[in-house]
Structures are given as C-alpha cells and as structure tokens.
C-alpha cells in the first residue's frame, strides 16, 4: 500500500503525539507510526512533572480538560539534608507553578484525541526504513498487519526515542553525539499509597539520594540512589523501604512514608546525551531521539514538547510561504534550550547525589552548596526559574 502525507511522524510518545496535534492545528497533515502496541504505550510509566509552558500548549490545543481535573498543582519542592527540610517556593520566586500528571496519562489523552478526530496513528508497525532524507521527496517504508506499506512525504519527524531508527538513519559523520554517564542509578518503585508529602521531596543523605514523588493522590513514585550496575534482585522490597526511611528522615518530625503494594520496580541508569545537529536534510529529530537528561531536573518530557513547538513553527512557515528560515534554525533553537536543561539537570544531579569517588573535601563542598542553595534567595530563584521552565524562544529571535 502506498500513500502520501505532508509529515511522517515516527514514534507515538509525547513528542510524536504532541507534534501531530500541533500540525493538525496548523492545517498540516501527518501520519504517526509506532512499533509498540497502543496498550503498551498508554501504560508505560515515565515522569510526570509538567512545566507551565507545556500545560499552556495542551490548553491551546483543547487537550487539558482531564489534566486539570486529575492533576496535582505544586507550588514548590522540598530539599532535605542534614536532618532538616528546606522548601523552595516557586510562585514566590518566579510567579509560576508545576503540574504533576503521569506521562502515561498524557499519552492516553493525546492518543484518544487523535483517534477521536479520525487522524491516522498506527501501532505495532515493524521494519521501519527511511529513504531519500537528503532529497525533497523522502519516503518511509514499513510493515503493518502483514503487508508492506510506504509513505511519500515532505518531511520526516524522528520522535522514536534514544534507540529508534531515525537518528541511526543519518549518514556517518553528519551528526555528533555528546554523552555523559553518571556513577549512580535509581531504584524506582511505583506504590499504591498516598504521597508522603503534598510536594516532591529531594533528599541528600550520606547513604545516597532519595526522591519522594507521586503520580496521583493514591499512587506514589519513590526512588533511592543505587549503583548503576546493581541487579534489581539486590533490592528486595524491605531494603528499598528501609533506605527510603533512613534517607528522608527528619529527627523529631514524626515523618513516615505511607506504604502499600508495589506495582512496579526497576533500576534507571543516569545519563546525559545530546545529538548535534538535530536535523539532516528532510529529517528532524525531537525528544529522546535527540537528547537524554538525568531525571533529577524533570526536563525530559518538557524538552520534547519544546522541540515539537519549534518544529511546528518551522513547518508552518514552510507550508505558508516556503520559507526555510525557521527550519534551518531548528537545531540552533532547540539546542540552546537543551543545553541549558542539561546544565540544570547535571547541577541538580551532582549536588544531590553522593559520589562514591568523592573525597572528604568534595563531600564538604557539596554540603556547602546545599546550604547556599537553600538559604540564598538568588540561588533559590535560579533553581526555581529552571525547574518551572524557561520561556520559549519567539520565532523571530536571532
């Protein structure tokens, strides 16, 4: 089967689905291809912290109803170290807030709206191949429902994640990858229990980092620092709970973490990655296909949304008057934001995680930095400004 569209989107994660809706709003046709099943994509548990800019984009698309009904709006975070907690007040410092809404719930909303509008999104495709990305008539070949298919298009959006086929389709020597591996990982558990606190708690402890987060009023997401080479079998439930309690305790405060059935458990390695440029010919990378950040700064999903916002602006200009200015500047605009998010995520990660290789001097310096960040209004404002999300770059900015 052969068909034509304006933009072929590879990947039905947040980047690909958001792009499909932004393009539809701009009157640009697209087809979304995804190698996983709809059930898998809709139930894949990931981060859930949305910046105000991300929420605003969903509202503009008319997709924020369930989000506003079921999400949790947070006005700060707490940083714990040395047996005491310190709150960072987002509205007081920046006038902004964050919204906690599970990524899988957002994906459900985006898929339901796409399918409800009768727009094509195809799951469980295989053998995706990109052709002609250096020319003006790129093509995507794939198999679906036992048959061969091909899509002729004007552009291809690679939104298929870090290990997808799109970045790999760029010829050798045309793209550079910048990467950093961190000497720690996270054991994460999803728990059927109410949150331990109304807001996220980031805890630095000599035993390691811990994070108390949530996905809803009845489901919590909890993490403890581990060695990235650990096997999950080394972390039985009892050990995870004990470490969470020890690393987040505040003497005399009577603080306890609500417990419940563990619904999911796994180990997440910590890494940073950036591909430059994020485009080649008629192929444009977005989201995890182009960059990975440590989850400490809650930037991954929000960076993906910013990418597709900039890509939509470029495509809209091209279809409107054949201007290539914004498409030519796509990488430049995205990477300016990406590297700022990488800097913030690296800073949050290295400030909060004890590094086994650190000297006694390094550990003292780390505590001094935590003390400074939680007592200086200027330092707290810098943290808050980055956490709630930097402003989007206007299309006309040079």
Residue 292, beta-bridge partner list: 273
- Over the stretch 149-205, which tens digit does the pLDDT of each residue have? 999 999 999 999 999 999 999 999 999 999 999 999 999 999 999 999 999 999 999
Confidence of residue 322 (pLDDT cuts 50, 70, 90): very high
CB atoms within 10 A of CB 247: 20
Residue 45's pLDDT is 76
387 is catalytic: yes
Chain-centroid distance, C-alpha 23: 21
Catalytic position from the list 295, 310, 319, 353: 295
CA-to-CA distance for 297 and 89, rounded, in angstroms?
Answer: 16
Beta strand pairing call for 155-158 and 147-152: unpaired
Residue 215's pLDDT is 86
Residue 140, C-beta contacts closer than 8 angstroms, at least 6 positions apart: 8, 10, 33, 128, 129, 130, 131, 150, 151, 153, 156
Chain-centroid distance, C-alpha 251: 34
Percent of all residues in the chain with a pLDDT value above 70, rounded to a whole number? 99
- Over the stretch 95-131, which tens digit does the pLDDT of each residue have? 999 999 989 999 999 999 999 999 999 999 999 999 9
pLDDT at 141 over 90: yes
CA-to-CA distance for 5 and 319, rounded, in angstroms?
Answer: 13
- What sign does the CA torsion over 307, 378, 198, 271 have? positive
Contact 106, 54 (CB under 8 A): no
Percent of all residues in the chain with a pLDDT value above 90, rounded to a whole number? 94
223 is catalytic: no
Residue 398's pLDDT is 44
Residue 188, beta-bridge partner list: 223, 266
Which residue bears the tokens 């939104």?
159
Residue 274's pLDDT is 98
- pTM (global) more than 0.85: yes
pLDDT at 397 over 70: no
CA-to-CA distance for 172 and 191, rounded, in angstroms?
Answer: 44
- Over the stretch 55-103, which tens digit does the pLDDT of each residue have? 999 999 999 999 999 999 999 999 999 999 999 999 999 999 999 998 9
377-388 and 360-373 helices, crossing angle to 10°: 80
pLDDT at 209 over 50: yes
- In 22-69, the DSSP E strands lie at 30-33, 49-50
What is the rounded average pLDDT of the residues 250-267? 91
Report the C-alpha dihedral over residues 360, 364, 370, 371, rounded to 10 degrees.
160
Catalytic position from the list 202, 310, 319, 330: 202
295 is catalytic: yes
User: What is the set of domains in the chain, with CATH numbers?
Assistant: 2-74+98-179+271-353 (3.50.50.60)
Beta strand pairing call for 7-10 and 155-158: parallel
Q: What are phi and psi of 167, to 5 degrees?
A: -60, -35
Q: To which H or E segment does residue 241 belong? A: helix 237-248
Task: Look at residue 395 and give its three-state secondary structure.
Answer: coil
Confidence of residue 216 (pLDDT cuts 50, 70, 90): confident
Whole-angstrom CA distances from 177 to 96, 159, 272, 303, 344 are 33, 17, 10, 17, 19
Confidence of residue 254 (pLDDT cuts 50, 70, 90): confident
Contact 73, 49 (CB under 8 A): no
Residue 275's pLDDT is 98
Q: Tell me the average pLDDT of the chain.
A: 96
310 is catalytic: no
CA-to-CA distance for 76 and 194, rounded, in angstroms?
Answer: 18
> Tokens for 243?
């470490």
SS (H, E, C) 197-241: CCCCEEECCCCCCEEEEEEECCEEEEEEEECCCCCHHHCCHHHHH
Task: Look at residue 269 and give its three-state secondary structure.
Answer: strand
300-321 and 52-60 helices, crossing angle to 10°: 40
CA-to-CA distance for 222 and 323, rounded, in angstroms?
Answer: 47
- Over the stretch 3-58, which tens digit does the pLDDT of each residue have? 999 999 999 999 999 999 999 999 999 999 999 999 999 988 777 899 999 999 99
Catalytic position from the list 21, 299, 310, 330: 299
Catalytic position from the list 74, 96, 104, 108: 74
């Amino acid at each position: 089967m052969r068909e034509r569209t304006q933009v072929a989107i590879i990947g039905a994660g947040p980047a690909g689905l958001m792009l499909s809706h932004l393009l539809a709003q701009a009157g640009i046709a697209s087809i979304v291809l995804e190698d996983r099943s709809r059930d898998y994509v809709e139930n894949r548990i990931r981060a859930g912290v949305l910046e105000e800019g991300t929420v605003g984009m969903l509202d503009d698309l008319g997709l924020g109803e369930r989000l506003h009904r079921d999400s949790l709006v947070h006005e700060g975070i707490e940083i714990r170290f040395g047996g005491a907690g310190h709150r960072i007040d987002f509205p007081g410092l920046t006038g902004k807030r964050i919204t906690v809404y599970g990524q899988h719930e957002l994906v459900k909303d985006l898929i339901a709206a796409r399918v409800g509008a009768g727009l094509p999104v195809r799951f469980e495709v295989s053998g995706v191949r990109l052709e002609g990305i250096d020319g003006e008539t790129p093509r995507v070949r794939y198999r679906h429902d036992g048959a061969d298919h091909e899509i002729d298009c004007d552009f291809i959006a690679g939104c298929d994640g870090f290990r997808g086929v799109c970045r790999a389709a760029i010829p050798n020597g045309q793209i550079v990858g910048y990467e950093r591996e961190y000497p720690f990982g996270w054991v994460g558990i999803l728990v059927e229990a109410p949150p331990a606190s109304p807001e996220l708690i980031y805890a630095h402890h000599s035993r390691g980092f811990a994070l108390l987060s949530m996905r809803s009023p009845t489901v919590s997401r909890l993490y403890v620092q581990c060695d990235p080479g650990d096997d999950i079998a080394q972390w039985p439930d009892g050990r995870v709970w004990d470490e969470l309690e020890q690393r987040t305790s505040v003497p005399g405060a009577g603080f306890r973490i609500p417990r419940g059935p563990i619904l999911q458990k796994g180990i997440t390695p910590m890494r940073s990655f950036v591909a430059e440029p994020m485009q080649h010919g008629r192929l444009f990378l977005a989201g995890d296909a182009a960059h990975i950040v440590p989850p400490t700064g809650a930037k991954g999903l929000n960076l993906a949304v910013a990418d597709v916002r900039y890509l939509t602006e470029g495509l809209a200009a091209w279809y409107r008057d054949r201007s290539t200015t914004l498409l030519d500047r796509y990488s430049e605009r995205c990477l300016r934001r990406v590297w700022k998010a990488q800097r913030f995520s690296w800073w949050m990660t290295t400030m909060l995680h004890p590094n086994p290789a650190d000297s006694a001097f390094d550990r003292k310096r780390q505590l001094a930095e935590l003390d400074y960040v939680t007592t200086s209004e200027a330092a707290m404002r810098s943290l808050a400004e980055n956490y709630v999300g930097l402003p989007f770059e206007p299309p006309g900015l040079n």
